[in-house]
Structure 1
Amino acid sequence: MTQGLTKFPAKDDVVYVVDDDEAMRDSLSWLLQSNGYKVSCHESGERFLQALSATDPSTVACALIDIRMPHMTGMELQNVLHEKGFTFPVSFITGHGEISMAVEAIKNGAIDFIQKPFKEHILQELVEKMLSIARNEKQRAEDLKAIQSKFKTLTPREEDVLEKIAIGRTNKEIGADLDISVKTVEAHRANIMDKLAVNRPAKLLQMTLKYQEAKAQGLI
């Protein structure tokens, strides 16, 4: 390990380390903490899952997991994390001969892997990459929550009108579809744009499609 970590994380960001090797846990903990990272170490997948049950799920975090551990392997832990809805980025620590396992883990959603012995700058790049992904995902979730709160202010009739707007119907067509006057459609459209805090039709359509996509994906 030759190069120091140069970028300091936000004070509340957490790097989880899951490894049954105490010396490896101590080494990673010392290295990461000495460079400003908040580290939480765990000796097994089972202990890690127990600890996660008492943590704030909104915390920006990532995990470095040993791919070969007794009882619950790293890949088994990855699967359980998915099943329980934990979405923080995960990467694996691998030894010689475990690369094929790491590649399989990446196919299952892992960000990357580092092979023992690893260089400090490689660890830096990987941890920063994962935390950046986690921060972006948290911001995305907050943005979707804010959008959702705005859409909840719409009346059922405004939702009907907006659904027609989203598929490209004109005011006249919407009026005919819903058996209301064009002026009423225009009034509903104005109220919708006001409630959603948009000032252009393109912005309205963009926000609506984003909201519909998030709902379809079960994100909100």
Structure 2
Amino acid sequence: MSAEAVIHVIDDDDAVRDSLAFLFESADLTVRTYGSAQAFLAVAPVLVGGCVVTDVRMPEINGIEMLKRLKAQGSLLPVIVITGHADIALAVEAMKSGAVDFMEKPFDDEAMLRAVRTALVRHSQTLEEGQQRAEIRQRLATLSNREQQVLEGLVAGHANKRIAHELDISPRTVEIYRAHVMTKMEAASLSELVRMALIVGMSGSIATTDN
């Protein structure tokens, strides 16, 4: 397990924190523990990888409020909340506030480990997707206005001739711009180019502006 994939355990009960830390460490997972939501929120902005396991009932800042503050900070860390049998309403509220899962006390150790591993995998995928979107946007930023227009036409499924007509240029010129787009976007095929554009939410409608 990489150093970044840390399980952050938050609970004001020392015994619960120690028990969870022992469970995760026994499964070769890296653990950090916090006695309060305040202590975790103080370091949360610099955390990238991992998962949060937190009690929903804590003094001063409870699990729900912590989720809201994490969201406000822009944190992508997946959060699993621990609830009591009487806290189903809180568990549902936690899910609505961004928690990825909740575990009822007393929870099964294997069920907790499965939930954490699932959260870690999903988080890793989210980070990879975010990095991919950022790279695509960087490449898009290198396109000229006309190249952007040609790309939008391609994403809309238009043939070169139609793109040429809508932009009032020749089909041959469209081919040249299209080749430039493929090169700048580092796309090996038209399908890959379209996939990149869709990943960042391009609509595929041509907005005609100057070159």
Q: Would the TM-score normalized by the shorter structure come out above 0.5? A: yes
1:69 to 41, 54, 58: 58
1:86 to 58, 66, 75: 75
* Cα separation, partners in 2 of 1:47 and 1:113, compared to 1, 3 Å: same
Residue correspondences, number:
203
SS in 2 for 1:97: helix
Q: Distance in 1 between matches of 2:107 and 2:199?
A: 41
Contact 1:11 1:37 in 2 (8 A): no
Q: Distance in 1 between matches of 2:149 and 2:102?
A: 48
1:133 alignment counterpart: 122
Q: Distance in 2 between matches of 1:114 and 1:163?
A: 46
Larger mean CA deviation between 75-84 and 27-36 belongs to 27-36
Q: Distance in 2 between matches of 1:62 and 1:94?
A: 17
Offset, 1:213: 5.3
Structure 2 letter corresponding to 1:190:
A
1:5 alignment counterpart: none
SS in 1 for 2:82: strand
Structure 1 letter corresponding to 2:31:
V
Q: Distance in 1 between matches of 2:96 and 2:119?
A: 16
2:24 is aligned with 1:28: no
**Residues 182-201 of structure 1, C-alpha deviation per residue, up to 9 Å, x if partnerless?**
11111101111122222332
Q: Distance in 2 between matches of 1:50 and 1:204?
A: 41
Structure 1 outlier segments of 4+, above 4 Å: none
* Cα separation, partners in 2 of 1:119 and 1:104, compared to 1, 3 Å: same
* Cα separation, partners in 2 of 1:213 and 1:18, compared to 1, 3 Å: farther
Contact 1:93 1:116 in 2 (8 A): yes
SS in 1 for 2:201: helix
2:42 alignment counterpart: 50
**Residues 2-21 of structure 1, C-alpha deviation per residue, up to 9 Å, x if partnerless?**
xxxxxxx3343111111111
TM (norm. structure 1) is 0.85
Q: Distance in 1 between matches of 2:196 and 2:75?
A: 27
Structure 2 alignment gaps of length 5 or more: 204-211
* Cα separation, partners in 2 of 1:129 and 1:161, compared to 1, 3 Å: same
Q: Distance in 1 between matches of 2:103 and 2:182?
A: 49
1:99 alignment counterpart: 88
Structure 2 letter corresponding to 1:138:
L
2:6 is aligned with 1:14: yes
Contact 1:153 1:195 in 2 (8 A): yes
**Residues 191-214 of structure 1, C-alpha deviation per residue, up to 9 Å, x if partnerless?**
111222223322222221222259
Q: Distance in 2 between matches of 1:108 and 1:12?
A: 24
2:30 is aligned with 1:41: no
Q: Distance in 1 between matches of 2:112 and 2:201?
A: 38
Contact 1:16 1:64 in 2 (8 A): yes
Q: Distance in 1 between matches of 2:145 and 2:202?
A: 19
SS in 2 for 1:86: coil
Structure 1 letter corresponding to 2:35:
E
